[in-house]
Amino acid sequence: MKKTIFIFSVLIAALLILFQLSKYSLISGNTSLEYIIAGIAVVFFFVGLYINKRRKTHVNISQKEEIDIQKIDALGLSKREYEVLCKLAKGHSNKEIASLLFVSESTIKTHVSNVYTKLDVKRRTQAIQKAKELHILPFS
């Protein structure tokens, strides 16, 4: 919001400056007027490009990083369960996840079952689907 206000302030300022320039050019002669108009067109064309670029990339970032955390504890997923879910979604087996997190396979099975209950799914492939839909994964 702050940035939008700032950009529009700059736009208005630029417009005023260009008005002043055009008035001076009327005194000095009409030949340079066309260049000034062309300049205005080019400047505002690129301002349009820039504004849109800013907006789009900002939206993308917010979708990737902000939505995560709220939904995770809205589902009641604990820290450890979420870790397991991430490894699971990367394609690891229970045994592999156990190695990665330095615990037994039994522990992983418990966590995985709890994750399924909380996500309301029956299989790990469904868990991956659901997690992606909810945008609670740090990748993809």
Cβ pair 127, 88 in contact under 8 A = yes
Cβ pair 47, 6 in contact under 8 A = no
- Say which residues have a Cβ less than 8 Å from residue 127's Cβ, sequence separation at least 6: 85, 88, 89, 115, 116, 119, 121
Based on CB atoms, which residue is closest to a second copy, 46 or 73? 46
Alpha carbons 8 and 14: distance in angstroms, whole number? 10
Report 41-100 residues binding DNA (CB under 7 A): 76, 78-81, 93-95
The binder of a second copy chosen from 58, 71, 95, 132 (CB under 8 A): 132
- Taking the complex as a whole, how short is the minimal distance between the CB of residue 9 and DNA, in angstroms? 45
Sign of CA dihedral 124, 130, 135, 140: positive
Give me the 56-95 binding string for a second copy, x by CB under 8 A, dash otherwise: x-------------------------------xxxxxx--
101 lies in the binding site for a second copy (CB under 8 A): no
The binder of a second copy chosen from 10, 49, 69, 74 (CB under 8 A): 49
Residue 79 binds which entry of DNA, a second copy, none, CB below 5-8 Å type-dependent? DNA
- CA distance to 11, 36, 115, per residue, from 43 (Å): 10, 10, 54
Residue 119 binds which entry of a second copy, DNA, none, CB below 5-8 Å type-dependent? none
**Size of interface with DNA, in residues (CB under 7 A):** 24
Alpha carbons 132 and 135: distance in angstroms, whole number? 5
Query: Which residues would be at the binding site for DNA (CB under 7 A)?
Result: 76, 78-81, 93-95, 101, 103-107, 109-113, 116, 122-125
